[in-house]
Structure 1
Amino acid sequence: MTRRPPIGEAMGLLESELRAGRRALAYPDTEDAWLAFLRFGRRLFDVPDTPDADGLLLQYGTHSFDGPPTFTLDLARQFEIADSNDNYDHYVQVHCELRYRPAPALQALGSFDSWFFHGTRDDLDEWAQRLSERAAWTTIRMLKPAEIRLYQEQV
């Protein structure tokens, strides 16, 4: 049986996937980041055996959380954390947030989100295919983000 890494290793594994196959000093474009996120998303972690214990989220929209309005594509992985009695305690989210310079075409996309959860009847590759077939993906997939921010938070 293959050992599943603990959730504490998730951020480092995501960073490794983002670096994998990239030319030295090259800044990844949206497609590179998406493919790295999917490789990271295929890795199974040591999580509780509950339906929502390990989820992937793609969400985008124009927001002004910490400055002027910016179009943001957020690729996140959410893990359930259980207490000592194996009951839900909280979630940890690992984010790969891509921020883009303002552009009318991006703002026109509005906002969107889609979840995938391991341990359900859904298939990760089918979920990814459905997302990459969206008209919005044609607009953003070849863009280079102005900034990529990786972070982890408890929610």
Structure 2
Amino acid sequence: MAGFNFEPNLPHQEKAITALIKSFLNVEFHPSSDYIISQYINPKISFNSSVLASDIKQTQQENGIFGTEKCSDDLVFDISMETGTGKTYTYTKTMYELNKIYGLFKFIVVVPTLSIKAGTVNFLKSDALREHFRHDFQGEYHDKQIVTYVVESKKSKKGK
């Protein structure tokens, strides 16, 4: 696969994906019964915020992550990994897994710099990525593919 060297199922990446998915065990996902609507919006999510916070705390403890108290009304998941550990691959595979398990299909990826953004967009749009995940994540009628929509910031008139 030209351009990218994939090393699937690395233990630290699989552990991160499993931990995130485990955090959703007590969350209920309700897809729309209207086929047309279900093609455009993620399933409705319902949960008890204190149970979700407790599940996240337990997952953190099981993974040796301490000192990161999460408020029960904080719905932001921040996953940190060291440089060079395959963050882009890990969150991409996580998106595929969340789609496969819960039917989620819209995600927002935020990156800190323009160079990382360019690399991320190239990665997500690559034929190599599509081929790599094709066998594990096929849809009922077609291969699951990531479609990207890139938000560009407006140019400032006042310099940087």
**Is TM (by shorter chain) over 0.5?**
no
Higher normalized helix content (fraction of residues) = 2
Higher RCO by CA contacts (8 Å cutoff, separation 6 or greater):
1
Higher normalized strand content (fraction of residues) = 1
Q: Which has the larger radius of gyration?
A: 2
